[in-house]
Structure 1
Amino acid sequence: MATRKKKVEKEGIKKKVMITVEVKKEIIKKHEQGMRVADIARCYSKSTSTICTILKKKENIRRLDAAKGVTRVSKQRPQVLEDVEKLLLIWINEKQRAGDTVTETFICEKAKALYTELISKLPGMSTENEESFKASRGWFDNFKRRSGIHFVRHREAMSSDTKAAETFTTEFQEFMVSEGYLPHQVFSCNETRLFWKKMPRRTYIAAEENAKPGPKPMKDCLTLLFCANANGDCKVKPLLVYHSENPRAFKKCKVQKSQLNVMWRSNSRGWVTPILFVEWINEVFGPAVKKYLLEKNLPVQVLLLMDNAPAHPPGLENDLLEEFKFIKVKFLPANKTPLLQPLDQQVISNFKKLYTKALFQQCFDVTNGTNLTLREFWKNHFHIVNSLKMIDKAWDGVTKQTLNSSWRKLWSDCVVGHDLVYEPEPPVVDEIVSLGKTMGLEVNEDDIEELVEENSHELTTDELMDLHLAQQQVVMKEISSEEKAKNTKDFLTSNEIQEMFHMWESLQNFVVKHHPDKALVVRAVELFNDNAMSHFHEILKRMQQQLSLDMRLVKEEL
């Protein structure tokens, strides 16, 4: 009986939940921003003594560089494994952003490859060290729990992909016939990463750039979302996402973002997010395709084809404005994008070749018409505004024939002359090589093809490390901005805003009660609410959303 009672009491003991290093750093940050210990304890569901203990050790905690989900760094957990997991998360995010579904086996193989490469760079490490990390099932389960990844498939029959793609193609063609869509009404969209300031590896400029330390991938990388119809005569304004909202070159060149030939948006990682995608749909895609169809005297009915990338919300049709409910969405099957996505069938590749041609042409024009050397132009005068002009020129240069022919695999009936042999576009690569040699650059066709392919392939280990460093710098910059805002007179707390709302409500009640013209008061109050108070409602809403996000992240971590 006593044994049973003791067992029951033991089962009733609450298991101690460890706080991750990442969360500890968040707690320190919030306290330094002015948040009270009691409020932090309430936010994280911890005792005030626990929070105080963390704050006392803040200097030691700051020095820790742990992967996501790790609760403590011990001698048993080598630093190289921390680095592997941090780089692995960045690699997984890149795969996810591209719409690729990764398997457990794929992740473990990448982890071992990262470990081997990082170990090889450490002095005094032997082959035994390289083989000490097995990327076992136990490690993977712990990594998955710590990092919170949840989109991993355990096993995958890759040989079935081609068969599944063929099945989808048959179903898609039958769907086109049954619904009566014309090639003018069917659009596809897809994202791609562009290293806008990159030369072929063998040029002396590329060698000089690669020799410089620093986070180049973040600075020189942007994401473009392209969209066009199957007929090939309607190209929608692209969405461009960069890591900076207002690059320095914008001020220098007096750029008005609303006048650009792309929809300019930004976030710290330079990725398309669901929110940005929905904005592009409602502000750019919807109005553009509606105008196009009306001008063609065609029924206002549109099908948008896209992959299952995280940036493409599955409930997109619910986010459409009422005037764009004529847009229907169809998703490509998972992991079949390279086989079926029309924009992946030489369209994006052709754009990147045309971009490289425009880049070389710009370099040639400047060095031929000014006293600047190529190195001087590249170092001091080539910036993102130059790139925007080249992006516009390259996208404009993608022909109707290229866009229409890209549907050959998925919807061959819509391709003009689909039963004829396809004649390739003019040799753009030859023109690039010719321009390069004119400027004294050592380039050939393989160099150009390699440059185009680099924009499609996954990042190398060195680039992953650069990207990790760049992301850390972005976070530090954001923290610095928050601290700067805190020290200004304009910094507001949620309590101050709530207090102001109560005062405004009391004032409204007083005026409504004692003013003789009730209708006049109501109109005045509504006008003030719309034009002034809405600003503070938005601030409070963002604060509450951030608090809700913080709480959710804490629960996930704990």
Structure 2
Amino acid sequence: MKEKITGRDAAKGITKVSKQRPPVLGEVEKLLLLLIEQKQRAGDSVTKAIICEKVKALHADLLNQQPGTSADAEGFKASRRWFERFKTRSGIHSMVRHGEAASSNVAAAEEFATEFLEVMVSEHYLPQQVFNCDETGLFWKRMPKRTFITEEETSLPGHKPMKDRLSLLFCANASGDLKIKPLLVYHSENPRASKKHKANKEQLSVLWQSNRKAWVTRSLFVKWVNVVFGPAVKQYLVDNNLPLKAILLMDNAPAHPPGLEKDLLEDFNFIKVMFLLPNTTSKLQPMDQQVISNF
């Protein structure tokens, strides 16, 4: 490996070397680029987080092998600034493995936003009283979609993703100070790990439900509203001395049926349900504005 690093062609990969940078860092980046190439050939994903963790480990290892490098003893931070400069020096770039563009109706989104604001103003809703919920599928064994590849490559080999998935429903208010316990739907009611460790689902930070396809259905959604959402919102409004009224904003997915108010328990008839217009969720859905992706 040492011979590969020292003999690497500087015209490819690390192309710019600063005299102000510690020599050990240049060696680390050469080794890092070789590792990225290895993962690229293997079809593995290489994210920014992976690169930053790997470079810190490599830096520490090389320092241990070179006891005279006291100037680097404080440790290497792998900051955002370093990462951006490393991309420039090495020529690595980010690619999405696969993706699908979503259509959106911009005019309808703008019209709905105006109408929704009018409802909030005319009926005196505060951000604390406005809630949004949305589902997402979590392929919890799947590799990341995006990976960094070397400058010479323009494509990368495909890979067969793991398909073990579950569904999650997230919900929070517009002020961000109340995050409702999520709904989790898995294809197994009692997974092997749950049985082995005798897990108590009542103590989980999610409402665990199950069906064969791990989908959020109407019955499961209504149960979540009456068992989790309604009680949490009511207690929150009482604790904060807020009027007993709230808006639940969501898209018109099959699990979110029209007339949902009829399925609410009597204690929660203060909840007003509003639906986003079709093809506007990519523009308007709050949970799609990096909340789910950050999770």
When normalised by structure 2's length, the TM-score is 0.59
Matched, 1:181 2:125: yes
The alpha-carbon deviation at position 195 of structure 1 amounts to 1.0
Give the Cα–Cα distance (whole angstroms) in 2 for the partners of residues 176 and 233 of structure 1. 18
Q: Within 5 Å, which residues of 2 pair with 1:383-394?
A: none
Listed one character per residue, the Cα deviations across residues 218-254 of structure 1 (whole Å, up to 9, x for unaligned) are xx21110000000100000000001111100001111
Contact in 1 for aligned 2:142/2:162 (Cα 8 Å): no
Tell me: higher relative CO, structure 1 or 2? Use CA pairs within 8 A at least 6 residues apart.
2
Question: Residue 232 of structure 1 corresponds to which residue in structure 2?
Answer: 176
The alpha-carbon deviation at position 199 of structure 1 amounts to 2.8
Q: Within 5 Å, which residues of 2 pair with 1:105-184?
A: 161-184=105-128
Contact in 1 for aligned 2:181/2:206 (Cα 8 Å): yes
**What stretches of structure 1 of length at least 5 have no aligned partner?**
1-157, 204-209, 352-558
Give the Cα–Cα distance (whole angstroms) in 1 for the partners of residues 141 and 185 of structure 2. 15
Give the Cα–Cα distance (whole angstroms) in 1 for the partners of residues 225 and 252 of structure 2. 16
Give the Cα–Cα distance (whole angstroms) in 2 for the partners of residues 200 and 344 of structure 1. 18
Report the 3-state secondary structure (helix = DSSP H, G, I; strand = E; otherwise coil) of the residue aligned with 1:271.
Answer: coil
Question: Residue 225 of structure 2 corresponds to which residue in structure 1?
Answer: 281
Question: Residue 88 of structure 2 corresponds to which residue in structure 1?
Answer: none
Q: Within 5 Å, which residues of 2 pair with 1:471-486?
A: none
Report the 3-state secondary structure (helix = DSSP H, G, I; strand = E; otherwise coil) of the residue aligned with 1:258.
Answer: helix
Question: Residue 349 of structure 1 corresponds to which residue in structure 2?
Answer: 293
Listed one character per residue, the Cα deviations across residues 314-364 of structure 1 (whole Å, up to 9, x for unaligned) are 11100000111111100000111111011111111111xxxxxxxxxxxxx
Matched, 1:338 2:286: no
Kindly indicate which of the two structures has a greater share of residues assigned to helix.
1
Question: Residue 63 of structure 2 corresponds to which residue in structure 1?
Answer: none
Question: Residue 322 of structure 1 corresponds to which residue in structure 2?
Answer: 266
Q: Within 5 Å, which residues of 2 pair with 1:91-106?
A: none
Equivalent of residue 294 in structure 1, options 238, 252, 261: 238
Give the Cα–Cα distance (whole angstroms) in 2 for the partners of residues 300 and 200 of structure 1. 43
Matched, 1:221 2:181: no
Give the Cα–Cα distance (whole angstroms) in 1 for the partners of residues 162 and 288 of structure 2. 26
The alpha-carbon deviation at position 284 of structure 1 amounts to 0.2
The alpha-carbon deviation at position 198 of structure 1 amounts to 2.4
Question: Residue 249 of structure 2 corresponds to which residue in structure 1?
Answer: 305
Listed one character per residue, the Cα deviations across residues 101-121 of structure 1 (whole Å, up to 9, x for unaligned) are xxxxxxxxxxxxxxxxxxxxx
Question: Residue 249 of structure 1 corresponds to which residue in structure 2?
Answer: 193
Report the 3-state secondary structure (helix = DSSP H, G, I; strand = E; otherwise coil) of the residue aligned with 2:134.
Answer: strand
Listed one character per residue, the Cα deviations across residues 126-176 of structure 1 (whole Å, up to 9, x for unaligned) are xxxxxxxxxxxxxxxxxxxxxxxxxxxxxxxx78x1111111111111111
Aligned residues: percent identity?
67
Q: Which amino acid aligns with 1:301?
A: K
Give the Cα–Cα distance (whole angstroms) in 1 for the partners of residues 247 and 219 of structure 2. 20
Report the 3-state secondary structure (helix = DSSP H, G, I; strand = E; otherwise coil) of the residue aligned with 1:276.
Answer: helix
Report the 3-state secondary structure (helix = DSSP H, G, I; strand = E; otherwise coil) of the residue aligned with 1:269.
Answer: coil
Report the 3-state secondary structure (helix = DSSP H, G, I; strand = E; otherwise coil) of the residue aligned with 2:258.
Answer: coil
Report the 3-state secondary structure (helix = DSSP H, G, I; strand = E; otherwise coil) of the residue aligned with 2:194.
Answer: helix
Q: Cα–Cα, structure 1 residues 322 and 242, in superposed 2: closer, same or farther, change >3 Å?
A: same
The alpha-carbon deviation at position 200 of structure 1 amounts to 3.5
Report the 3-state secondary structure (helix = DSSP H, G, I; strand = E; otherwise coil) of the residue aligned with 1:283.
Answer: helix
**What stretches of structure 2 of length at least 5 have no aligned partner?**
1-102, 149-158
Question: Residue 270 of structure 1 corresponds to which residue in structure 2?
Answer: 214
Structure 1 residue runs of 4 or more that deviate by more than 2 Å after TM superposition? 198-203
Question: Residue 91 of structure 2 corresponds to which residue in structure 1?
Answer: none
Q: Cα–Cα, structure 1 residues 200 and 165, in superposed 2: closer, same or farther, change >3 Å?
A: closer
Give the Cα–Cα distance (whole angstroms) in 2 for the partners of residues 310 and 343 of structure 1. 18
Q: Which amino acid aligns with 1:304?
A: L
Report the 3-state secondary structure (helix = DSSP H, G, I; strand = E; otherwise coil) of the residue aligned with 2:143.
Answer: coil
Give the Cα–Cα distance (whole angstroms) in 1 for the partners of residues 116 and 271 of structure 2. 17
Give the Cα–Cα distance (whole angstroms) in 1 for the partners of residues 265 and 141 of structure 2. 37
Larger Rg belongs to: 1
When normalised by structure 1's length, the TM-score is 0.32
Give the Cα–Cα distance (whole angstroms) in 1 for the partners of residues 225 and 168 of structure 2. 14
Listed one character per residue, the Cα deviations across residues 271-309 of structure 1 (whole Å, up to 9, x for unaligned) are 000000000000000000011111101111111000000
Give the Cα–Cα distance (whole angstroms) in 2 for the partners of residues 252 and 233 of structure 1. 36
Contact in 1 for aligned 2:172/2:179 (Cα 8 Å): yes
Question: Residue 138 of structure 1 corresponds to which residue in structure 2?
Answer: none
Question: Residue 5 of structure 2 corresponds to which residue in structure 1?
Answer: none
